[in-house]
Amino acid sequence: MPTLTDFIYTQFRLSIPLPTTPFNSKTVLITGATGGLGQEIATHIVRLNAAKVILACRNPSRGNDTKHAIESTLRCDSSILEVWEVDLESAASIKGLVNKINKLPRLDVVIHNAGVSAAKFKRVYGTEQTLAVNCIGTFLLALQVLPKLRDTARRFAETTPCMTFVGSALYDVAKWPELDLDGEDVFEYFGDETKMGGMNQYNLSKLVQLYSVIKLASIVDPVTSRNPSPIVINSLDPCFCKTGLIGDLSGVGKVFFRVFEALAARTAEEGSRLVVQTASAGRETHGLYMRAGVVQEYAPIVRDRKKAEYLWEILSKRLEALELGIMGNVQ
């Protein structure tokens, strides 16, 4: 868990420079791109001369509002930004997005920014909504776009495609449930409403996500690979910033969060700088986690190899059940 000193540094003292690495000729897909962090990420990437930026979002109306806001700010050509609908709670919706992606000439960068922090129980994919969206839905999309990233790497020598996951330092404070790793399924466990763990659901989802990012990167173009056309898979914590990710909090909890956010949170624009920096990083970040703009060593909780293998196995089964043959994309 970040220490108080570390928190004060990242929230109040850390200087976050504007990203400068150009995105010339690149096609970029951003999930959760309506408002907040997603909008700021898209704004920077358009400013850095991307050829096409796809705002993948659940609400096309809000997506179009975001598109028009960015175009008004940057006075850019209206053909650069496109709004594509996707609902990470729906395998069919994800498949529809993937089908459109596969028709693109290229796909250079995917930024998995979409996420939820639900305060009320809802069952999705047989588990609790936060875990379902932040883990199952996110990786259901990630694994289906891997072939397109690989194809882009092979056909365009000047690019090293990158897949970036927006995580959270809160993974380190996640409370793992008492489970038998040889028999019980953590997703099935949280499919029981009585097991709902409040804020821990979000923290746990980011822990599961990070385990999965590390495992995915170790299989797809490991650092020892001699693949002449590799891709980069990385993740980051964008600091605590004003993103609108408050879920269904109400009452005292919502008031406390709002006060804390007002006192300590960085702006979404500042957090977006870190995301864009990570999404434009090189192979030196493959399989790694960025915080405060630098690669940070994983917390001890992530070094549990048995838990990592367990999570990858049960996640793989869930994904394969939703999209037959999807795990073949990883090899």
Distance CA 162, CA 108 (A): 6
Nearest in space to 212 (alpha carbons), one of 322, 309, 323: 309
CATH of domain 4-12+21-329: 3.40.50.720
The pTM (predicted TM-score) of the whole model is 0.94
Residues whose CB is less than 8 angstroms from the CB of residue 128 and which lie 6 or more positions away in sequence, other chains included: 118, 121, 122, 190, 191, 195, 196, 201
DSSP strands (E only) in the chain: 27-31, 52-57, 81-85, 109-112, 123-124, 127-128, 162-166, 232-237, 289-291, 294-296
Cα-trace Rg, the chain = 19
**105 contact partners, CB below 8 Å, separation of at least 6:** 27
Burial class from Cβ neighbours inside 10 Å (0-12, 13-18, 19+) for residue 283 reads middle
Dihedral over Cα of 173, 309, 89, 122: its sign: negative
**Digits of tens for pLDDT over the chain (331 positions)?**
567 778 787 878 888 999 999 999 999 999 999 989 999 999 999 999 999 999 999 999 999 999 999 999 999 999 999 999 999 999 999 999 999 999 999 999 999 999 999 989 999 999 999 999 999 999 999 999 999 999 999 999 999 999 999 999 999 999 988 888 887 899 999 999 999 888 899 999 999 999 999 999 999 988 777 787 799 999 999 998 887 665 555 566 667 667 777 777 889 999 999 999 999 999 999 999 999 999 999 999 898 889 999 999 999 999 999 999 999 999 8
Per the CB < 8 A criterion, the answer to whether 133 and 88 are in contact is yes
Three-class secondary structure of residue 18 per DSSP: coil
Query: Where in the chain are the domains?
Result: 4-12+21-329
